[in-house]
Amino acid sequence: MPNLEPLIGKSRAELEQIVIKFGHKPYRGRQIAHWIYEKAAQTFDDLKDLPKNLREQLEKEYVVSPLFLASHRTSTDKVDKILVHNGDNQVFEAVLLPYEKRVSCCISSQIGCPMGCTFCATGMGGFDRNLTHNEIVAQYLFLQSLSDRRISHVVFMGMGEPFLNFENVVAALKILHEEVGLSYRNLTVSTVGLVPQILKLAEHNLPIHLALSLHSPIDEVRSRLMPVNNKWDVAETWDAMKKYQRMTGRKVMVEYLLISEVNDTPEQAEALAKLVRGTPHVVNLIPFNWVDTGNGFQRPARSRINTFKSILEQNQINVTERVERGHDIAAACGQLAGQHQGKFARRTPSNPLTVVP
């Protein structure tokens, strides 16, 4: 494909400068912004009130969206999962999650992931590259084009570690807030716990939610599940989260994947309660969604989930359990990236796609 620059991801001011370059009035740039960010336009044909000559001028240098659709599946519980790419045949995934009272989406920050968490399908596919801020924002807008309802909540919990792509993620957050109009308080970024970036994000003072993928309060167990713990252990990581909370005033979210007879023991529930107590928080329990990572991990029995949750509640911990969505199309937590095979892949993709730009 020609090396055309996407309009998605540009501010209104930048769009105004583009149309001025072509000899048009600045308000034409605001019209483009309206169609892209409020109407989720995907092509120049969608920009219905632009003069033909301006569209023709734009088409020589720009595309509206950088994304091509490789696959679109809908689950039995009405979750949509899309696989997209920018023409380089490396697909990444985003998920549309409709609920009764709101619509959310889960988007990716990288193609693949280099972090190597042993319970996650994304890491099994290896890592290819960081996504640009344009590609990140374009995922939201593509999903919005599929939904009759406004997508009000965005979670950066798709493929990749957002903090390894820090600048593009922050730029995307700002576009989603300033141009799309989403509240920062409805944006959530999840990290495995990169301590310097946690503190760096705090300095930006964006009132977003920060979620820590903890998965065990015990270093020995967490290191077995998440290699990142060998660099920043539980104590150092949690200290950074506490500093983030104090600097921003936002509750921190703790994501805790429950794996049968690995990290779902009463002892770890007690240790988790001791760790988070005293810091404004929410602990989100996520029963393991089965994916074959070669480690034999299994979802805990309901009785073990209930016991773990009960111990936290008895310790006055603010705890919720994530509602499983999209399991039958591998769109649930930890299942993304079944189609991706990047550099250093540890397995071939299931049901491989032939991706054509």
Task: Spell out the residues 6+ positions from residue 3 whose beta carbon is closer than 8 angstroms to its own.
Answer: none
**Beta carbons of 80 and 66 less than 8 angstroms apart:** no
Given 16, 93, 179, 255, which residue is catalytic?
93
Encoded amino acid at 243, one letter: K
Strands in the chain per DSSP E: 5-6, 62-63, 68-74, 80-85, 92-98, 103-106, 110-112, 127-130, 153-156, 187-191, 209-213, 252-258, 281-287, 319-321
Given 105, 106, 113, 333, which residue is catalytic?
333
Is 106 annotated as catalytic?
Answer: no
Encoded amino acid at 252, one letter: V
In the block, residue with structure tokens 């399991």: 327
- The rounded distance, in Å, linking the Cα atoms of 201 and 213 is 16
**Pair type for strands 252-258 and 209-213:** parallel
Is 161 annotated as catalytic?
Answer: no
- The rounded distance, in Å, linking the Cα atoms of 172 and 239 is 27
Cite the active site residues. Answer: 93, 333
